[in-house]
């Protein structure tokens, strides 16, 4: 059933759910509209009330908070929905940046929509897009993935399914794992152009632009601190990677299938990467 929302027209009995972005580092990136919304809602649903309180104190906002994070979302969502249905409004915020990306806000949004409660998103800070547009890599098209799996084997399996994607790819990573993650990306993608970005909007903001091997060398010479983003250039159609060359064409096809790719897509990808005839590889795989 179609859902049509007119956010600011018509009489509504329920309150609104506002998705309010917060600064990713610099407090001055808070928008006037976001501040006004936080001041006028009845409740703020915060990923971490301690972090959000620093923001509220800085801007002298005294609206009450409700803790809302991945560990208590199941029990909190019904309570928040009841609050909204009573005619009161809620601002949902994450610790930094846009809500619903790396917090349980999406689940709340889905349930609110089911009840025809207006969901209003405010524009504002986004670490991925902010880093992308200054990375020097092609900004469009792009794909945002967030955090990769932590285990090396799972990382490589995930990356193998994205190997042929032409889009610029955006990942979040911890400074303690960033070198290992770059090694894994290099093993699957080859020595692509990347931008390693850290401490966005803060005094130690830094971009390291170059090939993966060049960035890894810089990390040995100058280790980093602070949360990081990795922006990786897409496949330009010329990539032949170390991981691909270590396997036979049929083994490469099977690896992609085991990683979740459809059979025909896997055959097409391997054929393109190795300059093989797709029909012949299809016949070999299916033993025709």
User: DSSP string covering 213-282, please?
Assistant: HHHHHHHHHS---S-EEEEEPPP-S----HHHHTS-HHHHHHHHHHTT--HHHHHHHHHHHHT--HHHHH
CA-to-CA distance for 244 and 251, rounded, in angstroms? 9
Helix/strand/coil for 62: coil
Determine whether domain 17-125 maps to CATH 3.40.1010.10: yes
The total of other beta-carbon atoms located within 10 Å of residue 227's CB is 18
Residue 254 buriedness (CB in 10 A; 0-12 / 13-18 / 19+) = middle
27 has a pLDDT exceeding 80 = yes
Read off the pLDDT of residues 100-120 as tens digits, 9 standing for 90 and up: 887 788 999 999 999 999 999
* pLDDT at residue 267 in the model: 87
Read off the pLDDT of residues 54-65 as tens digits, 9 standing for 90 and up: 999 999 999 999
Comparing 89-93, 172-176, 278-282, which segment has the lowest mean pLDDT? 278-282
CA-to-CA distance for 227 and 97, rounded, in angstroms? 13
Domains in the chain: boundaries: 17-125, 128-232, 247-286
pTM: predicted TM-score of the whole model, two decimal places: 0.79
254 has a pLDDT exceeding 90 = no
* pLDDT at residue 101 in the model: 85
| Cα angle 214, 217, 221; round to 5 | 135
- The CATH number of 128-232 is 3.30.950.10
Alpha-carbon distances of 212 from 28, 147, 189, 194, rounded to whole Å = 33, 18, 10, 6
How many residues comprise the chain?
288
Comparing 98-102, 201-205, 270-274, 275-279, which segment has the lowest mean pLDDT? 270-274
Instruction: Please report where in the chains the tokens 């846009």 appear, as a residue.
Output: 98
């Amino acid at each position: 059933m179609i859902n049509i929302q007119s956010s600011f027209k018509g009489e509504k009995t329920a309150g609104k759910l506002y998705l309010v972005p917060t600064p990713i580092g610099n407090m001055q990136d808070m928008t006037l509209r976001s501040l006004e919304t936080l001041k006028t809602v009845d409740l703020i649903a915060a990923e971490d009330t301690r972090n959000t309180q620093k923001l509220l104190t800085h801007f002298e906002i005294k609206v009450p908070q409700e803790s809302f994070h991945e560990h208590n979302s199941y029990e909190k969502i019904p309570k928040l929905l009841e609050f909204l249905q009573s005619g009161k409004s809620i601002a949902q915020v994450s610790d930094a940046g846009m809500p619903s990306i790396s917090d349980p806000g999406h689940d709340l949004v889905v349930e609110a929509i089911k009840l025809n409660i207006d969901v209003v998103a405010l524009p504002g800070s986004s670490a991925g897009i902010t880093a992308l547009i200054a990375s020097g890599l092609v900004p469009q098209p792009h794909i945002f993935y967030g955090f990769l799996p932590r285990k090396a084997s799972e990382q490589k399996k995930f990356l193998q399914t994205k190997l042929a994607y032409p889009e610029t790819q955006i990942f979040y990573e911890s400074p303690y794992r960033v070198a290992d993650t770059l090694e894994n990306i290099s093993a699957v993608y080859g020595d692509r152009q990347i931008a390693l970005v850290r401490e966005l909007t803060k005094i130690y903001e830094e971009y390291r632009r170059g090939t993966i091997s060049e960035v890894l060398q810089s990390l040995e010479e100058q280790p980093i601190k602070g949360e990081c983003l990795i922006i990786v250039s897409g496949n330009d159609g010329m990539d032949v990677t170390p991981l691909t060359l270590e396997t036979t064409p049929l083994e490469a096809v099977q690896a992609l299938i085991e990683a979740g790719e459809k059979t025909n897509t896997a055959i097409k990808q391997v054929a393109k990467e190795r300059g093989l005839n797709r029909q012949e590889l299809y016949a070999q795989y299916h033993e025709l």
